[in-house]
């Protein structure tokens, strides 16, 4: 029964969306009046986007599933970032509780709190988190190999040593040619394994560049080894230098072809590209292992992580460009890894925090408030957040927030009740609107009576320590009066 009543309301859509609208508007009002400013608006918007994203996780519709995963990532990031920022304000508890209340109502209205929902959300966190971890490992590896200058310095040192003398340059040119031929053969085999029978007939020229170990004569390999061992000796260098000095034209040709390193660089590029193509089958096998039997759904579940990775890597690349071109900025731009890695780790932590919040919310609704599900938790949290922020709010705002919390609970109860009684068959919209209008009228009357009692029966000048007590009594009167009229 708990799972059924906690499912997303299909019958009472108007009531559910009305409860969400009331909760979002009141949350924005409370956060704005308590000093949260635009950060509070971002947090409320993130909560709504999160709720829609969780509700859009439909494995039967891949595009909607991908959109839901991206929305979950975006909404989670906005919500947790806003909550983290507001946690540093003078009244962190009230702000965070109000955001949590909005998120609870959004999840109940747009997604529902069922075992199926939490399972799909867990899959999103798993796949998106895996993508974020892979992107983090890539950024760290890139920084260690390239960002520290290790690989560029190694390549420069290798080219400098390979082109130091004519004999050494000639030998290393042949070594690079042989390595490029072997890599080209591996790349061709890799392409044939990925797309069997789809390649065009290979020309004789292209086939001549492919080498296997069996094609290399043993004497040639031995000659290359001996040339590498003794080609840099003083005797050989002096003999070759004397011979080239006697023939200036040949010497200039040797300098242009061998000592400039242009030919070595060209073969190095061919070797690197061939090795990348040769590694494609391994990458393909890894992707197939990750995606499993349903690659479309797996990628869709991980779409949020892909978007986060692209944004983080883009931020790192932008920081690198700013540092490389020494653009004038107000502050010193950080390096790429200082931008990408914290962003990826923060996104991963936000996903885990959101997952724990939703699982906890589902557990609470199953154990204690099955009748109204997440609406009751959201309404109660909204009331608690209002009480925590009461000393910074006008009396009218406190009373309105208390009435709005009761409206959220009432609309949520009816939305879940319609779903339980009608089994997904939507009642006439007029029925829901009539109930919402009646509930609103009752609550407005309760607010008016509470304000009259508060301003006429309570003295206008009260000490500061009694003001909060008076506001609490006003909230209790609103709730009691509204419940009495409803019964």
Whether residue 198 is predicted with pLDDT greater than 60 in this model: the reply is no
Specify the higher pLDDT residue, 146 or 324.
146
Partner residues linked to 7 by β-bridges:
112
- Full-model pTM: 0.77
Q: Check residue 8 and give its pLDDT.
A: 55
Nearest to 53 by CA among 36, 35, 37, 73: 73
> Do residues 100 and 30 touch, judged by C-beta distance below 8 A?
no
Give how far Cα 111 sits from Cα of 17, 54, 396, Å: 11, 6, 32
Q: How confident is the model at residue 23 (pLDDT cuts 50, 70, 90)?
A: very high
**pLDDT-above-90 percentage for the chain:** 23
Whether residue 2 is predicted with pLDDT greater than 50 in this model: the reply is no
Across the range 193-212, mean pLDDT stands at: 62
Q: Check residue 100 and give its pLDDT.
A: 94
Query: Where do the domains of the chain lie?
Result: 2-131+349-486, 164-260
Highest-pLDDT range among 183-197, 204-218, 312-326, 451-465: 183-197
**pLDDT-above-70 percentage for the chain:** 71
The mean of the pLDDT values for the chain is: 78
Q: Check residue 396 and give its pLDDT.
A: 79
Whether residue 331 is predicted with pLDDT greater than 70 in this model: the reply is no
In angstroms, rounded to a whole number, what is the distance separating the alpha carbons of residues 135 and 291?
17
- In the 8-state DSSP scheme, what is residue 26? H
> Do residues 404 and 412 touch, judged by C-beta distance below 8 A?
no
Whether residue 393 is predicted with pLDDT greater than 80 in this model: the reply is yes
Helix, strand, or coil (residue 462)? coil
In angstroms, rounded to a whole number, what is the distance separating the alpha carbons of residues 190 and 186?
6
Q: Check residue 450 and give its pLDDT.
A: 60
Exposed, middle or buried, 258 (CB in 10 Å: 0-12/13-18/19+)?
Answer: buried
Q: Check residue 168 and give its pLDDT.
A: 77
Least confident range of 171-185, 320-334, 397-411: 320-334
Q: How confident is the model at residue 53 (pLDDT cuts 50, 70, 90)?
A: very high
In angstroms, rounded to a whole number, what is the distance separating the alpha carbons of residues 7 and 424?
10
Residue 247 phi, psi dihedral angles, 5° rounding: -125, 85
Across the range 331-348, mean pLDDT stands at: 77
Helix, strand, or coil (residue 198)? coil
Nearest to 113 by CA among 358, 318, 309: 358
In tens, the pLDDT along 406-446 reads 888 888 887 777 666 555 556 666 666 666 666 666 667 66
Q: How confident is the model at residue 466 (pLDDT cuts 50, 70, 90)?
A: very low
In angstroms, rounded to a whole number, what is the distance separating the alpha carbons of residues 104 and 383?
13
- Which string of DSSP letters, residue by residue, matches 405-417? HHHHHHHHHHHHH
């Amino acid at each position: 029964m708990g799972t059924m009543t906690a499912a997303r309301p299909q019958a009472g859509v108007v009531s559910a969306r009305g409860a969400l609208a009331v909760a979002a508007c009141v949350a924005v009002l409370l956060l704005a009046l308590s000093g949260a400013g635009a950060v509070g608006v971002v947090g409320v918007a993130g909560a709504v986007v999160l709720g829609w994203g969780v509700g859009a996780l439909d494995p039967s519709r891949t595009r909607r599933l991908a959109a839901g995963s991206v929305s979950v990532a975006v909404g989670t990031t906005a919500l947790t970032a806003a909550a983290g920022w507001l946690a540093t304000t003078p009244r962190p508890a009230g702000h965070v509780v109000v955001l949590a209340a909005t998120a609870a109502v959004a999840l109940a209205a747009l997604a529902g709190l069922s075992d199926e929902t939490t399972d799909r959300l867990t899959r999103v966190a798993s796949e998106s988190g895996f993508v974020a971890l892979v992107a983090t490992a890539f950024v760290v590896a890139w920084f260690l190999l390239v960002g520290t200058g290790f690989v560029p310095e190694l390549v420069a040192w290798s080219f400098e040593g390979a082109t130091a003398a004519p004999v050494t340059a000639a030998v290393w040119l042949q070594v690079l040619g042989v390595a490029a031929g072997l890599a080209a053969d591996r790349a061709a085999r890799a392409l044939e394994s990925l797309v069997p029978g789809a390649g065009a007939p290979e020309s004789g020229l292209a086939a001549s560049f492919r080498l296997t170990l069996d094609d290399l004569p043993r004497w040639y390999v031995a000659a290359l080894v001996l040339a590498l061992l003794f080609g840099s000796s003083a005797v050989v260098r002096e003999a070759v230098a004397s011979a080239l000095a006697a023939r200036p034209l040949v010497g200039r040709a040797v300098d242009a072809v061998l000592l400039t390193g242009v030919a070595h660089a060209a073969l190095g590029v061919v070797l690197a590209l061939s090795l990348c193509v040769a590694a494609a089958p391994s990458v393909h096998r890894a992707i197939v292992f990750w995606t499993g039997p349903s690659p479309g759904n797996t990628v869709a579940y991980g779409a949020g992580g892909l978007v986060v990775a692209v944004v983080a890597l883009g931020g790192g690349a932008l920081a690198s460009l700013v540092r490389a071109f020494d653009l004038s900025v107000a502050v010193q731009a950080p390096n790429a890894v200082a931008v990408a890695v914290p962003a990826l780790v923060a996104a991963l932590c936000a996903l885990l925090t959101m997952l724990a919040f939703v699982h906890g919310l589902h557990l609470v609704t199953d154990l204690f408030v099955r009748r109204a599900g997440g609406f009751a938790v959201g309404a109660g949290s909204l009331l608690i957040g209002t009480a925590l922020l009461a000393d910074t709010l006008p009396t009218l705002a406190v009373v309105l927030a208390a009435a709005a919390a009761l409206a959220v609970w009432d609309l949520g109860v009816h939305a879940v009740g319609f779903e339980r009684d009608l089994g997904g068959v939507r009642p006439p919209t007029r029925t829901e609107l009539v109930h919402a209008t009646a509930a609103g009228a009752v609550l407005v009357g309760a607010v008016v009576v509470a304000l009259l009692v508060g301003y006429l029966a309570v003295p206008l000048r009260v000490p500061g320590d009694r003001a909060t007590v008076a506001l609490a009594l006003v909230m209790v009167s609103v709730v009691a009066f509204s419940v009495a009229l409803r019964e």
